Amino acid sequence: MIEVKNIKKSFDGVEILKGISTTFEKGKTNLIIGQSGSGKTVFLKSLLGLFTPEEGTILFDGKDYKTFSDEQRRQLRTEIGMVFQGSALFDSMTVEENVMFPLRMFSKQSKSEMQDRVDFVLKRVKLVDAHHKFPAETSGGMQKRVAIARAIVMNPKYLFCDEPNSGLDPKTAIVIDNLIQEITDEYNITTVINTHDMNSVMEIGEKIVFLKNGVKAWEGTNKQIFKTDNKSVTDFVYSSDLFKKVREVYLKELED
């Protein structure tokens, strides 16, 4: 679990995060949503320790990150998996080498132990025959699955995903959403996803935090978001005619 208490972050005198407090629960897919400029990326990078808030507290399973020693911070980094927006695979490495990279950097496993772990996670993301392919030889969806395999190869406690469906067709995006949710549940990971994808919000939004102008404007579940009367949320989530119709149908079914 990650607890955030009143964090504030500014750049050049401009306040970007204006006192955000929330909790990201273990074993659930926690989504951060909001318009461009709402503070989502700064918020995510603050959680990752890439930015240091001027005020507030971030607790990892009850432990305050600010009080961590250098050794504790290094240990925390080994407990965090990250799926980057563009997958961020090394072009010169094979799929197998990309996934093994964190193990070679941060673990003391033998070559055979690392190989067994890589084989396991690639099988888990359904890429059993892709070991020796290079990223350029794989599809966008396959690259995302490689990125997920790399993110979980160290058996992390925390998984962060930055726009994991970016650039994917709708069908493949659903596959990635389901995979992230399955892994989160299966390994009881605290998963935090930064997304613009409203399909993700509806399908896997077990906890949703909506940011607007650097503040938490709403939070709830994918079921509650259908029923909210928060205008900022409804204007953002149901901006298309399709989603407006979906919401109308859902609310009518509830009445019936």
* Residue 60 maps to a domain: yes
What confidence category does residue 244 fall into, taking pLDDT thresholds of 50, 70 and 90?
confident
Cβ–Cβ < 8 Å for 215, 21: no
Cβ neighbours of residue 240 under 8 Å, at least 6 residues apart?
198
* Residue 114 maps to a domain: yes
Other Cβ atoms within 10 Å of 211 Cβ, number: 26
Residue 65, CA distances (Å) to 23, 76, 82, 98, 151 in order = 15, 9, 18, 29, 21
* Residue 230 maps to a domain: no
Is 121 found in the same domain as 63? no
Is 75 found in the same domain as 183? yes
Is 203 found in the same domain as 147? no
What confidence category does residue 247 fall into, taking pLDDT thresholds of 50, 70 and 90?
confident
Is 149 found in the same domain as 160? no
* Residue 249 maps to a domain: no
Is 74 found in the same domain as 180? yes
Cβ–Cβ < 8 Å for 59, 137: no
* Residue 142 maps to a domain: yes
Q: Which residue has the higher pLDDT, 100 or 200?
A: 100
Rounded CA-CA distance 184/188 in Å is 5
Is 201 found in the same domain as 160? yes
Q: Provide the pLDDT for residue 108.
A: 87
**Percent helix, strand and coil across the chain, each rounded to 5?**
45, 25, 30
Q: Provide the pLDDT for residue 66.
A: 87
DSSP H or E stretch at residue 21: strand 14-24
Is 127 found in the same domain as 8? no
The mean pLDDT of 162-188, rounded to a whole number, is: 91
Q: Provide the pLDDT for residue 256.
A: 58
Q: How many percent of the chain have pLDDT more than 90?
A: 66
Q: Is 255's pLDDT higher than 70? A: no
Q: Is 226's pLDDT higher than 90? A: no
Q: Provide the pLDDT for residue 85.
A: 85
Is 134 found in the same domain as 177? no
Closest CA to 65 of 7, 105, 107, 14: 7
Domain total of the chain: 2
Q: Is 130 exposed, middle or buried (0-12, 13-18, 19+ CB in 10 A)?
A: buried
Domain span at residue 126? 93-154
User: Mean pLDDT across the chain, nearest whole number?
Assistant: 90
Q: Which residue has the higher pLDDT, 252 or 73?
A: 73
Of 101, 123, 154, which residue constitutes the final position of a domain?
154
- Tens-place pLDDT, residues 11-59: 999 999 999 999 999 999 999 999 888 999 999 999 998 999 999 999 9
* Residue 69 maps to a domain: yes
Is 162 found in the same domain as 124? no
Here the CATH number for the domain that contains residue 23 is 3.40.50.300
- Tens-place pLDDT, residues 76-98: 989 999 999 888 999 999 999 99
Q: Is 171's pLDDT higher than 70? A: yes
* Residue 43 maps to a domain: yes
* Residue 34 maps to a domain: yes
Is 166 found in the same domain as 68? yes
Cβ–Cβ < 8 Å for 45, 208: no
The mean pLDDT of 187-210, rounded to a whole number, is: 91
Other Cβ atoms within 10 Å of 246 Cβ, number: 15
- Tens-place pLDDT, residues 111-158: 999 999 999 999 999 998 899 999 999 999 999 999 999 999 999 999
Q: For residues 71-85, b (16+ Cβ closer than 10 Å) or e, as one string?
A: eeeeebeeebbbbbe
SS3 call for 62: coil
SS3 call for 190: strand
